[in-house]
Every structure is written in structure tokens, then in C-alpha cells.
Structure 1
Amino acid sequence: MGLSFEDVIAEMLMNAPDPNEMLPVSNRPATLWGTTLPFLILTWVAVCLRFWVRLRIMREPGWDDALVLLAVLLNTAATVFVLIAIKYGLGQHFLYLRITQMEGYIEMFYFANAIYITNCAVIKLSLLVQYLRIFKAGTMRWICKTLFVIIAAWGVTYGFLAWFPCFPPQAYYKKNDYPNAHCYGFGFGNEKDFISLFESHTALNMAFDLTIFITPMVLFRNPKLRMKNIFAMTGIFILGGVVVMISIWRLFSIVDNRAATHPYIDFTWWSPISIILSCLEIDIAIMCASMPIFWPVIETSFAAIFVTHEVHITEQPRYSAGNLGLAYELEHGDAMRDRASIKSGSTSRESLVMTRELSGKQGEGDGTAVRVGERYRDPYLAAHVDPFRDGVVDSELGVRTGVTAKPKEKWVL
């Protein structure tokens, strides 16, 4: 039989807190909303990007995706219960709440805690299944499978204790309605078992986080890894390291206040910091599981946006001022129009002579007869038409296109 509300309240009255005590930062509603809701939104963004890549691009959904979807749904439900608990006095002194608020808070905490404990196992299992996509054979695959079995057993055991802390379960938050209900562990059957269960679960959770974090580090031993792969993996492992640090911090907070019972029992006053850390731990773990799936696609899209080549186009006129007494037509439009009008106003014979003069000026000084073929003395035409002509085309003539590539950067986000 568990402790009744009267027993809990009587123990609280023996160590009544100051009703005018200033709220710690973690206990303020703004802090609770500001730390849980934004990270929940970021988690959903990461999961949506993950499913977009797996379903629309790779078209290879797997069990790891199903477990991540279950994890984000459970995480959303737990966050909702936490935010509703603010209405029932989360962050305030439990002793000074109304009876209806006390019952409401305990009910919200029951669901939030049971979901969190279940979700701790689900997100770890999703990461292990994701690792199995990488390790197709060998020792690492067997290590992942072994961890999967151990964590699944851990999740089922503690999940059962969290969902069924009393018989019947609703006696957890309606103790007065079920005076003969049997409560144990999380059901606060006695204070010692209650504290031990929270501390043991948190310690094992931290140990499994650390184990799953270091398991894929064997990939760094691959000599074929490119620099950008190393940076990408490092970024993901940094997120994993943040999850481990949050787990350590949460363990410290639970040990420090002995699961919200030290220096006196006050569930709503001592628990906010642990609740915030629980939400952030799951949020970042889900993001860490999703980033390896969608980040390579986003990285490729970003790389396509930035210009990595410069194109230079240079134009040189065929006729220099020494050949025609002109530059090109855009600079001497009037002279060209005058020449065109002379040509159009002359007879056919005059036009032929004009053509010969333009294309065969080299024959005028030496008395050589001007032939129609003289027009091919133009260097540009002759180099392309006469296969026996000596020399090459002037490299300064025509249009040249140069493509200059920037040196490839060592890594690009």
C-alpha cells in the first residue's frame, strides 16, 4: 500500500517552505515554455527533412524511420503534458497548491514520466537500427545487435514500472479513491525505493547514451574518409556529446535533490530542472539521429547555389586599323555606312573591283595581276580555307572563352 495524500502533506508540513521564496529561473513558466517548445519545433523540422529524403529521394524507408517517428510522437505528447503541468503548479511549492492542482499535477507527471522513460529506449533503438544500415557484417554489427537486445530489455522493464506504478495504475494520481491500491517504485510506495528507481534509471540512461555515442567512432579509422566527411561526422558526434552531457547533468540534478525529495519533499519545486533536461535530451537525440539522413542532400543543394567558376569572354576584331584603315564597325559606323553606300551605288564591275581592292591590296605595289583568289590573302580566311598555307591563325583574332576555376576548398558546408 502506498502513501496517501495525507501522509505526503503531513511530511511536507514538517518542513514547510517559505511561501514568498523567489522563483528560480528554471521554475518560471517563461523558461519552461522557452526551452521545451522551440526545441520541439526544431525536432519536427529535422524529422520531416529525414522523411523527405528517405521517402522522396532515397525511397528506402526502414525500421529506424518508424522508430524515429514513434519517438517524435511520444516526445510531442510528453512535452504537451509538461506544458499542461505548468497550469497545475509546476515550478511552485507543492504544499501551497489546491487539492485539485495537486491531483492534476501528479496525473500530468505520471503520463510525462512514463512516456519519457519509454522514449529513452525507443530513440536509442532507432539509432542502433540506423547503425545496422552501416555495419553490414563483422564485429560492429554483432555489438549493435547485442546493445539492441540489452536496451530493449531495459526499456521494457523500466517502462512497465513507469506505466504500472500502482495496481490499478490510476491509483497513482487518485490515491484517495483507491485506498487499498498497491503502489511501489515510481508509485511512491516508500521514499527510498522511489529515489533508488529514479537514480538507477537515470544512471543507466547516461551509460547507454555514452555507449551508443562512442560505437560509430570506429568509422574514423577509415583511411578513405574525405575532409568534408570528417567534419560532417564530427558535427554529428558533437550533438551526440551534448546528449551525453545533458544525461550527466540530469543525473546530477536527480541525485542532488534526491528525486525532488531533498532537502524536503516538494515535487513541483525541485523537478523543473530535471524535466527541462529530459525534454532537451530527447529533442537533441532525435535531431542527432535525423541529421545523417538529410544533411548530405542539404549540403549538395547549398554547394550548387554558390559560384565556383568564372567565365571570361574576350572579343578581338578580324581587321586591324593597318589592314582596312578602320577599327571595327561599332566604333566607325559612319565610315562603314559611307563605304556601303559607294558599293551599292556603283555598277557590277565597280563592285567587283572594290571587292578585289579590299581583299587583295598586297598585290598592288608589285605589279602582280589582281585575281579573284586574292581575296583569300586575308589571314583569317586563308588559314581556314587554304590547307597548304604556311602559318597559323592569329591567336589574337576572333572570340576567346576562358574558364577559370577557383581552387577547390578543403571542405564546404
Structure 2
Amino acid sequence: MGVTFEELIGQMLMNAPDPKEKLPVANRPETIWCTTMPFLILTWLAVGLRCWVRFRVMREPGWDDALVLLAALLNTAATIFVLLCIKYGLGRHFLYIGIPEMQSFIKMFYFANAIYITNTAVIKISLLTQYLRIFKAGMMHWICKCLIVIIGAWGFTYGFMAWFPCFPPQAFYEKNAYPNAKCYGFGFVNDQDFIGLFESHTALNMAFDVTVFVTPMILFTKPNLKMKNLFAMAGIFILGAVVVFTSVWRLYSIVDNRAATSPYIDFTWWTPISIILSCLEIDLAIMCASMPIFWPVIEESFAAIFVTREVQITEQRRYSFADRGLAYELEHSDTMRRQASVKTQSTSRESLVITRLESGKNVEEHYKDPYLAAQVDPFRNIAQEVAVKTDVEAKKKDKWVL
């Protein structure tokens, strides 16, 4: 049988907090707004650039892009519910916000928590699906597929318990309207189940975060890895390490206040820090998944705008008569025009004879130049005059590409 609001308030009255207690920094509305909204905007910027590169530049969209877009939509919805929670008492003592606000807060928290738990699985599966583009075959390919199945089962199990903590689900935030509802786990039947479920999900979430972000580190063992790719991969892994750190911090906060029940039950007072870390964790994970897609294109565009190398181009002209170059063309422009008119009125052999008579030099000697002979005579064996030899050692093709 579920705990009614009257029973819950009775437990709180036994440990009534000081109504004039100083508001912690994390509990202030401006703190919640200023930590969630900027990162949400950056997240959508990263997702937008990713979609632009995949759909318009590479023209190779995949399931990983669809999952990242889904994760961004779910993250936006969860953030909206979190901000609505501020209106209904988030950051203040639960005992002093009033019965209507209590019901509204629990309703907003229900949707925010269920969306967050679902999204933790979606973003990890998106990253693993993205890894399948790199690991085309071999052991790493199957490791990623196994992780997709395991994380998918984990996300479905906890997601189901978050979306259906009671039967019917409305009983979670309208307990008085459904006195005979069956609740469990997140439905707060008892403290131990409620705390254990939150702590177990957070701990597994942290473990899977570490696993997912460590999986592609095998790429560092790739021989002849370019320094540019090395720095790019290191940057992505640093961002991934920040995601893992955020997940660890969230686990610590939940264990520390025992899912907002210690030292006394106060859901609106103890949860802000955990809620903020939940939003930041998903934001950073989505950005980490998107940066490898759009950053190479952005970097190339900047390289095209800001030129960092000078290129000197040297042109060498070849003429028929011993290095006289442009001076010869200017001095004999009339003769060249006459040659052109003759060529238009006779065959190529006749024009060659006329040119020989006018120049006073055997033009056939001109075609003894190996370079010109190679351009004129298609049956000439160029390989006898210019030989190029290359030795290429066969190398086993890698099962991944950068």
C-alpha cells in the first residue's frame, strides 16, 4: 500500500527544518537556470552542427544520428520539467510549500526522473552505434554490439520502473485519488526500496559511462597515428572523463543524502544538486558524441580562411629555339601569325615544311627532345628513357578507420 501525503507530512513534522535556514547555492533558482540553460543551448548547437555535417556534407546519416537527436529532445523535455519544478518548490523545504505545490512538484519530478533514466540509456546506445562506424569488424565490433544489448536491457528495465512506479502510473503523484494503487520502487512504498533503486541505477549508470568512454581507447594503439588525430581523440576523451566525473559526483550526492531522505525526508531541499548534475551529465554526453562528427569540418573551414603556409609557384616555359623565350615571341610575332594562317589552309605536314624553311632550322630536331617526343608520339616507349621504380610493402588492412 502506498504512503499517503498525510503520512509523509507526519514523518516530516517529526523532523521539521528551520524555515529561516540559509538557502544553499545549488538551491537558488538563478543557479539552476544558469547551469542548465547555457549547456542546453550548447547541446543543441552541437547537435545542429552534427546533423548539418551528416545530412548536408557527408550525406551519410545513420541510426547514431537519430539516437542523438532523440537524446537531445528528451534532454530538452527533462530540462523543462526541472525548471517547472522551481515554480513548485524545488530548492525550498518540502514541508512549507503547501499541499497543491507538493502534488505539482511530485508530478513534474515524475516526468523529469523518468525521462532522465530513459535518456541515460539512449545516449550510451547512440555512442556505441557511432563506434560501429569505426569498428567495422573484429572483436571490438562484437564488444560494441554486446554493450548495446546489455545497456538496452538495463535502460528498458529501469525506464519501465520509472515510467510505471505505480499501477496506474497517476497514483505516483495522486496517491489520495488512488488509495488502492499498487506501487513499488520509485513509487516510495518504503525507504529501503526507494533509496536502493536510486543508488543502484546511479551506480550502474556510472559504470556504463566508464565502459562506453573507455571502449574506443584501443585506437591509441593504432600504429603511425598522426599527431593531429591523437590530439583530437585526447580532447574527446577528456570531455568523456568530465561526463564520468559528473556521474560519479551525482552518485556521491545521492548516497550522501540517501536519495533526499537523510538526515530527514525533504525531496525539494536535498535534490537540486543531483538534478543539476543529471542535466549536465546528459548535456556533456551529447556534446561528446557530436564533436567528432562536426569538428573536423569546422577545423578544415578555419584552415581555409586563415592561411598558415605560403606556396611559391614557379613556371618554366619550353620554346622551340634555344632559350629565347618571350623575346623571341615578340620579335617574330609576324612570322608566327603567318604560320598560323598557313596551318589553317594546309595539312600539318605542309605547315611543318613551311615552318622549317622560314626558320632556317630543321624542326625535326626539335622533336628529338624526350619530353616533347613523349607528348607527340603515342607509340614512343617512354619507359626506356625515364624509369620510375617504387617499392610498396603490403600491409594488413585495419579493422577501423579514423
> What's the TM-score bracket when you normalise by the shorter of the two chains?
0.7 to 0.9
Correspondence list, 1:137-176, <5 A: 137-176=137-176
Deviation string 1:189-246 (CA, Å, 9 cap, x unpaired) is: 1111000000000000000000001100000111132111001111111110000000
Matches within 5 A, 1:5-404: 5-310=5-310, 381=327
TM-score using structure 2 length: 0.78
Paired with 2:138 and 2:310, the residues of 1 have a C-alpha distance of 48
The separation in 1 between residues aligned to 2:210 and 2:151, in whole angstroms, is 13
SS in 1 for 2:19: coil
- How far the C-alpha of 1:384 sits from its partner, in A, is 9.3
The 3-state SS of whatever aligns with 1:142 is helix
How many angstroms does 1:40 deviate by?
Answer: 0.4
- Unaligned 5+ segments in structure 2 are 314-323, 333-358, 360-402
SS at match of 1:180: coil
Post-superposition offset of 1:312:
8.6
Flag the structure with more relative contact order, 1 or 2, with Cα contacts below 8 A and sequence separation at least 6. Answer: 2
Amino acid at match of 2:218: V
Instruction: Identify which range, 304-313 or 49-58, moves more after superposition.
Output: 304-313
Query: Matches of 1:284 and 1:311 in 2, distance apart?
Result: 41
CA distance in 1, matches of 2:155, 2:331: 84
- Structure 1 residues 312 and 230, CA gap change in structure 2 (3 angstroms): closer
Amino acid of the structure 2 residue aligned with 1:21: E
TM-score, normalised with respect to structure 1? 0.76
Q: Give the corresponding residue for 2:351.
A: none
For 2:108 and 2:142, how far apart are their aligned partners in 1? 40
Identity level (%) = 75
Q: Counterparts of 2:326 and 2:257 in 1: how far apart (Å)? A: 91
Query: Within 2, Cα distance between the matches of 1:55 and 1:136?
Result: 21
2: distance between equivalents of 1:311 and 1:243? 43
Residue-pair matches, total: 324
Deviation at 1:305, TM superposition (A): 1.2
Q: How far 1:173 sits from its partner (Å)?
A: 0.3
Cα displacement string for residues 67-90 of structure 1 (whole angstroms, at most 9, x for unaligned residues): 111100000000000000000000
Q: Secondary structure at the match of 1:179?
A: coil
SS at match of 1:70: helix
Deviations 1:295-345 (CA, angstroms, capped at 9, x unpaired): 0000100111112244799xxxxxxxxxxxxxxxxxxxxxxxxxxxxxxxx
Residues 367-393 of structure 1: CA deviation (Å, up to 9, x unaligned): xxxxxxxxxxx9995899799xxxxxx
User: Cα–Cα, structure 1 residues 308 and 192, in superposed 2: closer, same or farther, change >3 Å?
Assistant: same
Amino acid at match of 1:281: E
Structure 1 gap ranges (5+): 314-377, 388-413
Q: Matches of 1:264 and 1:381 in 2, distance apart?
A: 99
Between the aligned partners of 1:57 and 1:126, the Cα distance in structure 2 is 20
Q: Deviation above 3 Å: which 4+ runs of structure 1?
A: 309-313, 378-387
Question: 2: CA distance between counterparts of 1:379 and 1:108?
Answer: 84
